[in-house]
Structure 1
Amino acid sequence: MSGTTLAAERAKFDALAGQWWDPDGPMKPLHRMNPLRTGWIADRLGGRDLTGKTILDVGCGAGLAAEAFARMGATVTGLDAAGAALAAARAHAEAGGLAIDYRQGGPEDLLAEGLRFDAVVALEVIEHVADRAQFCAALAALAKPGAPIFVSTLNRTARSFLFAKLGAEYLLRLLPVGTHDWRMFVTPGELGAALRPTGYRITELAGMSMSPTGQWRATRDLAVNYLAMARR
C-alpha cells in the first residue's frame, strides 16, 4: 500500500463511505465547499469548460470534486487509498453516466505507469498523509511539464483549532468527531517548503470562508481553510 497514507485515516473515511453523497450527512461541509474549490481551480485552468484537460484528483474520496470536474468536460482520474469510499465513487459515477477512472492507492502508485496530467489536485488530503514531503514529490512527478498543482487544506492556527476542530466537530457537529487532527494541519509556509524541493512554488493563495448560512466564498483570510496553486 502507499507509503504516504495512514491506515487509521483510510479506515476513518471508509467508515463514512455510505454517507458521502448525502448532502445533509457528515460530508455536508464538503458538499457546500465543493463548488468554490472546483470553480476556483477550473478558472485557473482556463474556465469552466475543461474539455481536453486531464485531471488527477488525489484523495478523491467518493468523488465530489472528481464528478464536478468530469461534468465540466475533463478526463478525470480519481485516486484514493480508501476502498469503500472508492466503491461509493464508482457507483455514484456510473449512476450519473460519468466515465471516471477510479484507482485505489497513493500517488506514488501511479508513477510506475508513467502517467502524467494537465493538473494534479489534492483537496483536503495533505493534512491526513504520513509523509508530507514524499506526498508533494509524488504530486509533482505526476504533473506534465508546466502543469499546476492545486491543494486545499487547513491552516494550523489558533482560529482553525477553535473553528475547524472544536467548533465543527464538537460544538456544531458539522463533522464527525475525530475527522481532523489539528497537529497535522499545514501552514502555507510549510506547504511551500514541502513543494520547494520539487521545483514548485506557490503562485496563488485564497482563503475559504463559510458564511452564517453555510455558503462558502473565496477571501483573503487564510487563517482556517485555504486553496493554493503551485507552478514551476
Structure 2
Amino acid sequence: MTETARSTIDQSEVDRFSAMAAEWWSPTGKFKPLHKFNPVRLAYIRDKACENFGRDPKSARPLEGLRVLDIGCGGGLLSEPVARMGASVVGADPSEKNIGIASTHAKASGVSVDYRAVTAEELADAGETFDIVLNMEVVEHVADVEFFTTTCAKMVRPGGLIFVATINRTMKAAALAIFAAENILRWLPRGT
C-alpha cells in the first residue's frame, strides 16, 4: 500500500462526531469540557508560539502572519480564537457536518477561517505546510496513530511547531478521565 493510499480515518469516529455536530458551540452541551479548557490551552499555544517566533504575547494579534493548521478541528472551537490572534488558519476535519457547523459559526462571528472537509494525508499529499500544526484530542480517534502523527509532522515548516494533546493512556487515566468523565460525571459523551 502506498502512503497516498493509506488512511488515518476511523469512519465510526467520524460518524460519532458528525452525529454531535450541532453541539459544538453549546457551552453547556456535550463539548462543555472543551469550552472550559480552551482558555488555558489557547494561552499555552499563544505563549509557546510567541516564544518560538519572537512575538509579543501581549499584542492584540500575536500570531499575525503565521499559517496554522487545526487538524480534526470539529466545530472550530480552537480555530476561531487562533484566527482572532491574527493567524491564517486552516481548519480541517473529515466530517462535512463539522465543517458546515464551523463555517456557519465563523461567518456569523465575523472570523475568517479556511475550513475544509479533508484529511491530514490529503493536505500533506497536496504539499501544504504550516508554521504551526494543532493536533488536539485527535490521535485517540484515528485508525493509524503513527502514520497520522508522521503525516502531521511533515506539514510543519522548518522552525515551526506542532502541538499534540491527548488523554494519558494509563489505567488511572482510563478510570478517572474516561470512565468517570463519561459515565459518572457525564462531562463527556460516552465513547468520545
TM-score (norm 1): 0.75
1:102-139 superposed Cα distances (whole Å, 9 cap, x missing partner): 11121110123221110111000011111111101111
> Which one of 157, 167, 170 corresponds to residue 154 of structure 1?
167
Give distance in 2, aligned partners of 1:178 and 1:133.
Answer: 22
Report the residue type matching 1:109 in the other structure: E
Question: Which residue is equivalent to 2:53?
Answer: none
Identity of aligned residues (%): 43
Unaligned 5+ runs, structure 1: 180-232
Q: Indicate the RMSD between aligned Cα atoms, in angstroms.
A: 1.3
Is residue 43 of structure 2 the alignment partner of residue 29 of structure 1?
no
Q: How many residue pairs were aligned?
A: 179
Compare the two structures and name the one with the higher helix fraction.
2
Is residue 159 of structure 2 the alignment partner of residue 132 of structure 1?
no
Give distance in 2, aligned partners of 1:158 and 1:2.
Answer: 31
Is residue 136 of structure 2 the alignment partner of residue 123 of structure 1?
yes
Greater relative contact order structure (CA < 8 Å, 6+ sep): 2
Question: Which residue is equivalent to 1:7?
Answer: 11
Give distance in 2, aligned partners of 1:177 and 1:116.
Answer: 34
Unaligned 5+ runs, structure 2: 51-56
Compare the two structures and name the one with the higher strand fraction.
1
TM-score (norm 2): 0.90
TM superposition shift of 1:2:
7.2
168 and 2 in structure 1: CA distance in 2 versus 1, 3 angstrom threshold: farther
Q: Counterparts of 1:39-78 in structure 2 under 5 Å? A: 39-46=43-50, 47=57, 49-78=62-91
65 and 2 in structure 1: CA distance in 2 versus 1, 3 angstrom threshold: farther
